Amino acid sequence: MTASPNDTQLKNEIIENFGTPCPVIDLDIVEQNIRRVQALCDKAGVRNRPHIKTHKSPVLAHKQIEAGARGITCQKLGEAEVMVDAGITDIVIATNLLGAARSGRLAKLQARTPVTACADNPVTLNAYAKAAADAERPLDVLIECDTGQKRAGVETPAEALMLVSKISQDPMLNFKGFLFYPTLDSWDATQTFYDTLRVELEALGIKAEIVSTGGSPNLVNLGKLTGATEHRAGTCIFNDRMMIEAGIATIEDCAFQIYTSVVSRAGEERGILDAGSKTFTSDTGGLTGFGHILEHPGARIHKFAEEHGFLDLALCNNKPVVGDIVRVIPNHVCVAVNMVDQLIAVRGGKIVETLPVSARGKLV
């Protein structure tokens, strides 16, 4: 298995059917990545609950479930609505859904299909209780806990326990467990945090049914948190330059590429691609440059305009010419997929289908 080879015929088919820039996924690599993550979860003895924020495609979510995933993770209510429409029922929405709860949308979804939501504060819990009452169906809730990332999540076990207590006292809320996102160096802190919770809750006769860890970079740490029941990873279905940099993937594991034309070579050492920040976004992910060009690894995408990528060709021996089509692996695939309404799927060097990015562009 290799990343789609430098296939002139495929490039011509892409540009003749769709033009450039064009977002392309290789289904063979996608399926290999899905199997790999499932195998890692199986080996570690945790359930796999892939985060669909990366692909936003019910078709790919079903592939993940067919490969063994327990359910899926969403980051927005609108994403969950699309997945429920597609027949997926076991969904964790991994965030404080305050805006969605107050719009009435959470209640409407909960009335159709029960979901599991997350909270790190009492205001969110109050909004959830109202949504559950409106839906006439209690809502399952995970408490989000922060163990060093300084993202969402309560910072202490005491706060988490206070929220568990509040949930327990509310007939419209069910305590379901905890959501963690350990950093690479905070696994010990996460273990201590969770063990404190476990001991306190056992004394109350309460058990966390879900103890969730997250992140594609944490695939190498699966099983490290004793008591973890499941893992949610998103990026690893496609991979990107950040995953390569993190040592999680190789170029050959990157299933998503932007096919883009070299449209200008106004200077000897510079060139311009027809894809910029409205195709890739300007996420750097802490890396230098804005993507890896498979055909010209020495070419550096050093700047973006909205629809142009600016190439520094000083270190590029075999410089591209106007009209060349090149394939770029983005720094951050999750945001690149989020820019488009459809992905062109190829297999074995042939275009096989167009996959709608159905859960993109949802406000809440």
Residues in contact with a second copy by CB under 8 A are 15-23, 53, 75-77, 95-96, 98-100, 102-105, 120-121, 123-124, 127, 146, 150-155, 260-261, 263-267, 270, 272, 274, 277-278, 281-284, 305-308, 310, 321-323, 334-335, 338-342, 361, 363-364
For residues 327 and 280, the answer to whether their CB atoms sit within 8 Å is no
Q: Angle 105-112/77-85 helices, nearest 10 degrees?
A: 30
Nearest residue to 233 (alpha-carbon basis) of 73, 82, 68: 73
CA angle 286, 290, 295 (to 5 degrees): 130
Residue carrying structure tokens 């988490």: 160
In terms of CB distance, is 151 or 350 closer to a second copy? 151
Q: Which is nearer to a second copy, 99 or 289 (CB)?
A: 99
Q: Would you say 205 or 318 has its CB closer to a second copy? A: 318
Q: How far is the CB of 89 from a second copy (least distance, A)?
A: 22
Whole-number minimum distance, CB 252 to a second copy, in Å?
A: 26
Smallest distance, a second copy to C-beta of residue 335, A: 6
Minimal distance in Å, beta carbon 218 to a second copy? Answer: 15
Q: What's the closest the beta carbon of residue 206 comes to a second copy, in angstroms?
A: 22
Say if residues 351 and 13 touch (Cβ distance below 8 Å): yes
Token representation of residue 18 = 């769709």
Q: How far is the CB of 267 from a second copy (least distance, A)?
A: 6
Strand segments, DSSP code E, in the chain are 22-26, 47-48, 72-74, 91-96, 116-119, 139-145, 173-180, 210-214, 230-232, 256-267, 270-273, 292-293, 300-304, 309-312, 325-329, 342-347, 350-356
Closer by beta carbon to a second copy, 86 or else 98:
98
Smaller CB distance to a second copy: residue 47 or 265? 265
Nearest-approach distance from CB 114 to a second copy, in angstroms: 20
Task: Specify the residue, 16 or 185, whose C-beta has the smaller distance to a second copy.
Answer: 16
Among residues 32 and 126, whose Cβ is nearest to a second copy? 126
Q: Report CA-CA distances (Å) from 51 to 94, 139, 244, 312.
A: 9, 20, 19, 35
SS3 289: coil
> Coil, strand, or helix at residue 301?
strand
Cα 69 to Cα 50: distance, rounded to the nearest angstrom: 7
User: Burial letters for 65-95: b for 16+ Cβ neighbours within 10 Å, e otherwise?
Assistant: bebebbbbbbbbbbbbbbbbeeebebbbbbb
Distance of closest approach, residue 4 Cβ to a second copy, in angstroms: 18
The residue (of 60 and 74) whose beta carbon lies closer to a second copy is 74
- The minimum distance between CB 45 and a second copy, in angstroms, equals 29
Cis before 157 (ω within 30) = no
Q: What is the number of residues in the chain?
A: 364
CB-wise, 7 or 307, nearer to a second copy? 307
Secondary-structure percent of the chain, ordered helix, strand, coil, rounded to 5: 35, 25, 40
Query: Which residue(s) pair with 328 in the sheet?
Result: 258, 293
